[in-house]
Structure 1
Amino acid sequence: MNDDHQLLSWVPRLRRYSRALVNNRDDADDLVQDTLERAWAKSGLWGGVADMRAWLFSIMHNLHVDGVRRPR
Structure 2
Amino acid sequence: MRKSNICPSFSSKNCTGCWKCVSACPQKAIHRIGFLWHRHAALYRARCIGCNRCVAVCPEGCFTKRSGGQ
Same fold (TM over 0.5): no
Which structure features the higher share of helix residues?
A: 1
Give the structure-1-normalised TM-score. 0.29
Q: Quick check: which has more Rg, 1 or 2?
A: 1
Which structure features the higher share of strand residues?
A: 2
Give the structure-2-normalised TM-score. 0.29
